[in-house]
Amino acid sequence: MDIDRFLALLNDPTKTKQDLVTMRADAIRSNAIERVHLAEKVLEERFPGWRIVKSRRGGHTPMGVMFRGNRQHFDTAKDAYVWLIERFTQHYPKPFVEVDWETVFVAKGPRALYFAKSVSKLFGAAAHLSEDKNKYTRLTNGWYAKLVLSNKQKLELLMKFSTVAGLKFGSDWDWDFLAERHPQLNGDELLRDLEGGL
């Protein structure tokens, strides 16, 4: 097949992304470098980001965070979350010392507790979850923190805690360097954009 025929096939609008990827793979196997480049060009035009492999749900998400100028990188979002929660509780321990509206605001969600003085209270009716030590951690202040959370939930909890602690998102702390990458957005706007995939 000549190069013009190959290009015509690539530009056929009925070809799916998978069809084009297959044509590219065939060109690689045939060591037809010019065809590989043409296939990649058409893939980029029709399917931007086609090389990005979506990870399976769950799994580890490397995370960069910052607290008061101290930037840290973690292999998992869970470790980054725990590190930030520890910094927040050291900076502003009141919600975990004097149980009041701030404690409820930070620790309680619509259908779950996120922080509790005991593992049994943390999981309530779902006591079987307390058997897996990967689902919670004991903070240095003696409280337990639930770790069975999406990254969006982690960020929402950090936003709530930072509100009562008087910590400003973007200047006092950052999550996944979102504020650094999107300085024009405030915390509420970032949460809305996360739902839409930034």
pLDDT in tens, 137-161: 999 999 999 998 988 899 889 999 9
Distance CA 34, CA 180 (A): 40
> What is the topology classification, in CATH, of domain 63-196?
Replication modulator SeqA, C-terminal DNA-binding domain (1.20.1380)
Report the alpha-carbon distance of residue 88 to residue 16 in Å, rounded: 49
Sign for the pseudo-dihedral over CA of 83, 87, 92, 94: positive
Query: pLDDT-derived band of residue 87, with 50, 70 and 90 as boundaries?
Result: very high
Chain segment 98-138, per-residue pLDDT in tens: 989 888 988 888 778 899 999 989 888 777 777 888 889 99
- Per DSSP, 128 falls in state G
Domain ranges of the chain: 3-46, 63-196
pTM over 0.85: no
CA distance 83 to 87: 6
Q: Which among 150, 145, 182, 178 has a CA at the least distance from the CA of 161?
A: 145
Query: How much is the pLDDT for 92?
Result: 95
Longest dimension (CA), the chain: 77
- What confidence tens digit (pLDDT) does each residue in 53-76 have? 554 455 677 888 999 999 898 889
